[in-house]
Amino acid sequence: MATLSELANKYGTDKRPEDHNYTPMYEKLLSLIEVNSLLEIGLGSGASMRMWIDYYPNAKVYCIEDFGEENERLWGKADGNIEGLNLISGDSTIKETWDKVPFELDFIVDDGDHHPDSQIKTLVQGFSHLRTGGLYFIEDTHCNFTELYTGGKDIIYSSIFDLIVKQQIPRMSTDGNFYRNIPYMAAEARPILSYHFYKSIIALEKA
């Protein structure tokens, strides 16, 4: 069986080692879970979707794409007509789009527009669609450090670290047990069991 990096090279996705070098991280973390379903936000050229379909031939593969001006400008009206792909048209930041998405997904990849505001709104809508133990990946977080994507505003890391603080000190005196402290945590911090930080990627595990 081909490795994820080999498939990334085959289809030309920028997740491959010579570009963003995300595939070694994906192979490492995803080897720890059973994958029967996955969703990626952002169709692009379709290269990543072809990679996932080949790597997980028996899994249900979903993609959310907002077929607007950016899709046409960057990808020449890529239509997502890929065998084995379940394409969902819509804006990943709104509930109406996620109403079309199944629950109990094994992992979700946000490779959308890379704007922190969109990444946070997408996380709020999408995290509940994971199963317990599922993984949520936010890609290309280096874009958060450029004014082109942030307009000089907060980056997504500030929101993630705020969640971490709310988990670590949910009350003045805590025994450190995650599950015993869930009732005292802010609601938005309760579903997250662990945080993983990689170059240009944040990965969150669902409790």
**pLDDT tens digit sequence for 135-177:** 999 999 999 998 888 876 778 999 999 999 988 887 766 777 8
Q: Which two tokens stand for residue 62?
A: 């979903």
In this prediction the pTM is: 0.92
Q: Tokens 């999408």: give the residue.
A: 126
Higher-confidence residue of 69 and 204: namely 204
Determine how β-strand 85-89 pairs with β-strand 192-198: unpaired
* Domain 4-206 CATH class label: alpha beta
* Mean pLDDT in residue range 34-61: 96
Cα gap 86→120, rounded to integer Å: 24
